[in-house]
Amino acid sequence: MSSVTPGIGLKVGQIRLVLRAELDRGVPFGVQVGKSTLYLLPCGLVAAVAWNHGRGFVKTVLTRGQAIANMESRGAILRFARPVYQVRDTSDATSKAGLRGLAERHFRAGIEKKERNAILREHGFDPAGQAGDIYRAAYRALIEAMRDSAA
């Protein structure tokens, strides 16, 4: 049977593949009582995974807000180190040009590395990922061009 799940637009057989890909890139999130672990998925949802003999089983998938409310109802005191930003796709030419433009503006303004990384995150770019590689290459090219013109 190849029925389509309402609201998702995927066939039933595709849902497992999508969830598995999200879980592979998920990071531990908060605390959970018992043998379960919460994982923040790249899509922004939170999966509660129960572990048994080294195998994980997804018990439920919650919104981030539901997971936080659940933790708080159990007495957890949550502190946020920094805001969570959605990561933009960097495969298109517009994003790459935007990264190069940011690098040029930051270079000309003399912005320090920590602040540059924070600005990248605010714009939806991951400084540790492909976007960071593109940005650093553009920034290094500007440094090299400045050195060459001074010589």
Per-residue model confidence as pLDDT tens digits over 110-121:
999 999 988 888
38 forms beta bridges with: 48
Quote the crossing angle between the two packed helices 113-122 and 93-109, to the nearest 10°: 150
pLDDT band at 81 (very low <50, low <70, confident <90, very high): low
**pTM, entire model:** 0.45
What's the confidence (pLDDT) of residue 42? Answer: 87
- How many CB atoms within 10 Å of residue 62? 16
Whether the per-residue pLDDT at 1 is higher than 50: the answer is: no
Q: What value does the mean pLDDT take over residues 65-78? A: 78
Which residues are CB-neighbours of 77 under 8 A, at least 6 positions away? none
pLDDT band at 71 (very low <50, low <70, confident <90, very high): confident
pLDDT band at 106 (very low <50, low <70, confident <90, very high): very high
Q: Dihedrals φ, ψ of 126, to 5°? A: -90, 110
Angle at 109 between CA 107 and CA 115, to 5 degrees: 80
DSSP category for residue 149: H
Q: Which of 4-18, 37-51, 99-113, 135-149 has the lowest mean pLDDT?
A: 4-18
Domain assignments of the chain as residue spans, ordered by start: 12-73, 93-150
Please report, for residues 4, 17, 40, 100, 104, the alpha-carbon distance to residue 119 in angstroms, rounded to integers and kept in the order given: 40, 33, 23, 13, 13
Distance of CA 78 to the CA centre of its chain: 20
